[in-house]
């Protein structure tokens, strides 16, 4: 295998990486691997202003894809995925260090200052824990928790009179973008959500919306299906501030689980941050159970790689 690897050839190659992760999860379990849906979500949602061909690097050998990395300049982080038979040791450490250098190169290219580089580490993934420690990363702030439950027998829920639930339509992209922005305090510029709906892997029939009596959108979740591992993912899940505490989130989880079951998936998964009590209560109250703890490991950027401070800002 060439240690140099190559950059992603284009969005059309993402299906191959999704298949890689689905098969890795079947072989080795979830620890250390992104759900295939989370791959495209992270690229086209959080990093929608970046060229994905500059975010993803792939390594191959005679057996196919050996490893790949997703650089995440928005979060000063990266995700490294390695085929189960190549996990651990110098190989894993070498790729972590390569990805760190590539991320810092990208940060310098776009002019973003960064003090620390972060990676997610499953606490039941000894190969990554060992390599991260050897590379200078250490446990930092509050962990996230991956939860899962069977798609059978979704929780029974009800919405207040006049509320309904349905899937998304392409012609309401601006309204959905505004809902995302209001829910998370983010910014979606005109046309951005329409562009997201046209990206690889997005399917409007997998985005669920709760509609209020006046026709406005009260909540949403994007669901992602992986037929290889039989696992579905909820990412993201949100309720508009004007419609919270009336059962919107539980209704979305129930509808998503039922549809996953109909599609032949046996497990639903969703992640929440440890300091987000509301999300944790929603998922655990919907029958999900914590299966993995995901720690954030960070590493100071070497002084030689720090960008100079601009005093004219």
DSSP 46: I
What 270-275 contacts at long range (C-beta under 8 Å, 24+ apart), as own/partner pairs, is 270/146, 270/147, 270/148, 270/233, 270/234, 270/235, 270/237, 271/144, 271/145, 271/146, 271/147, 271/235, 272/144, 272/145, 272/147, 273/142, 273/144, 274/142, 274/143, 274/144, 274/145, 275/142
Q: Are residues 78 and 212 in the same domain?
A: no
Per-position pLDDT tens, the chain of length 313: 446 799 999 888 999 999 999 999 999 999 999 999 999 999 999 999 999 999 999 999 999 999 999 999 999 999 999 999 999 999 999 999 999 999 999 999 999 999 999 999 999 999 999 999 999 999 887 899 999 999 999 999 999 999 999 999 999 999 999 999 999 999 999 999 999 999 999 999 999 999 999 999 999 999 999 999 999 999 999 999 999 999 999 999 999 999 999 999 999 999 999 999 999 999 999 999 999 999 999 999 988 888 665 444 4
1 domain residue, yes or no:
no
CATH code at position 216: 3.40.630.30
Question: How far is the C-alpha of 9 from the C-alpha of 20, rounded, in Å?
Answer: 16
Q: Are 225 and 263 in contact, with CB atoms under 8 Å apart?
A: yes
Question: 275: how many CB neighbours lie within 10 A of its CB?
Answer: 11
Q: How many residues comprise the chain?
A: 313
Question: How far is the C-alpha of 269 from the C-alpha of 147, rounded, in Å?
Answer: 6
Q: Are residues 32 and 115 in the same domain?
A: yes
196 domain residue, yes or no:
yes
What is the extent of the structural domain holding 23? 6-142+295-305
């Amino acid at each position: 295998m060439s240690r140099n690897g190559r950059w992603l050839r284009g969005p059309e190659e993402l299906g191959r990486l999704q298949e890689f992760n689905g098969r890795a999860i079947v072989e080795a379990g979830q620890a250390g691997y992104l759900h295939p849906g989370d791959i495209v979500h992270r690229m086209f949602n959080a990093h929608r202003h970046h060229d994905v061909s500059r975010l993803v690097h792939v390594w191959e050998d005679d057996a196919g894809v050996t490893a790949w990395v997703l650089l995440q300049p928005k979060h000063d982080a990266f995700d490294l995925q390695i085929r189960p038979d190549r996990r651990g040791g110098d190989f894993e450490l070498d790729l972590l260090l390569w990805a760190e250098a590539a991320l810092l190169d990208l940060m310098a290219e776009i002019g973003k200052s960064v003090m620390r580089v972060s990676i997610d580490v499953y606490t039941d993934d000894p190969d990554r824990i060992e390599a991260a420690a050897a590379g200078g990363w250490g446990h930092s702030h509050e962990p996230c928790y991956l939860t899962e439950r069977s798609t059978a027998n979704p929780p029974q829920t009800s919405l207040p009179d006049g509320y309904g639930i349905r899937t998304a339509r392409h012609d309401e992209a601006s309204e959905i973008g505004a809902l995302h922005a209001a829910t998370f305090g983010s910014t979606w510029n005109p046309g951005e959500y329409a562009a997201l709906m046209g990206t690889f892997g997005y399917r409007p029939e997998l985005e669920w919306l709760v509609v209020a009596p006046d026709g406005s959108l009260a909540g949403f979740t994007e669901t992602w299906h992986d037929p290889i591992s039989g696992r579905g993912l909820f990412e993201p899940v949100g309720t508009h501030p004007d419609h919270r505490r009336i059962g919107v989130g539980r209704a979305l989880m129930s509808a998503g689980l039922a549809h996953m079951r109909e599609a032949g998936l046996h497990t639903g998964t969703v992640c929440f941050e440890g300091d987000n009590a509301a999300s944790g209560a929603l998922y655990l109250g919907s029958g999900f159970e914590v299966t993995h703890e995901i720690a954030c490991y960070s590493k100071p950027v070497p002084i030689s790689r720090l960008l100079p401070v601009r005093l004219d800002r």
